[in-house]
Amino acid sequence: MVTSRYDNITVDAHASAEQTFRAFVAVPDRSPAPAVVLFQEVFGVNDNMRQLAVRLADNGFHAVVPDMFWRLKPGFERRDETGLAEGMELATRLDYELAVQDMTATLAHVRADPGCSPRAGAVGFCLGGTLAYLFATSARVDGRGPDAVVSYYGSAVHDHLALASDIECPMLFHFGDDDPYISRAQIAAVEAAVANRPDIAVHRYAAGHAFSNFDAPSFYDADAADLAWGRTLAFLDDTLTWSGSQ
């Protein structure tokens, strides 16, 4: 049994003013539990993201899904391809520097939550795949970043490969070889950037973009999604739950 709630997370958005934004939180029965921050697709914190959070909680993780569009359109959510144009427009206006601030605030929140054990990771999809990568390279709380990160088909990861050397934790990347938004050459560039890191793996699938989104039929590929999710859960178990999550 998983209990789920919708909570407020306090964010120090500006030096002179304190603001808050919202996050969906799925909490497992047993605590403290390792935290996993989920980063949204362009569709916002929607049913797909909430269901993924509950799946993580069912597997023993304290899942938190921050609203990364809160500065642009708080509470925005669309279910499927019909909201793609609006979500893409918001994504083009997302300020990555401010997004890193918000992700760092989320990391600080889970690290301070008594329901969370000391180890914390992240999983991101599409836009969130890029945010997860930036979370790994740039989010630090008292000098410490996340302990594990998974990036699904991050459309702009290849634009930020100069930051790859700043990754301080194990990572997984999932890409579809038939993705119309991310070329095979761009995937190869990611592979080359992390080739000297035995703790980072790049997996390719015979699938297109957003193959894990079970709410978007034209994108969803069940075989690729199941394989990638199995690898993701095994990776999170290995990196976040060892030695009692210390």
Which letter does DSSP use for residue 6 in this model?
E
Residue 174 annotated to the active site: no
Q: Which of 126, 169, 174, 215 does the annotation list as catalytic?
A: 126
Q: Quote the tokens at residue 68.
A: 């990364």
Residue 109 annotated to the active site: no
Residue 126 annotated to the active site: yes
Q: Quote the tokens at residue 207.
A: 């699938």
Cα 159 to Cα 11: distance, rounded to the nearest angstrom: 27
Place of tokens 């144009």: 85
CB atoms closer than 10 angstroms to residue 196: 9
Query: Which are the contacts of 9, defined by CB distance < 8 A and separation ≥ 6?
Result: 20, 21, 22, 23, 64, 66, 105, 106, 109
Q: Which of 147, 179, 215, 221 does the annotation list as catalytic?
A: 179
Write out the catalytic residue numbers.
Answer: 126, 179, 209
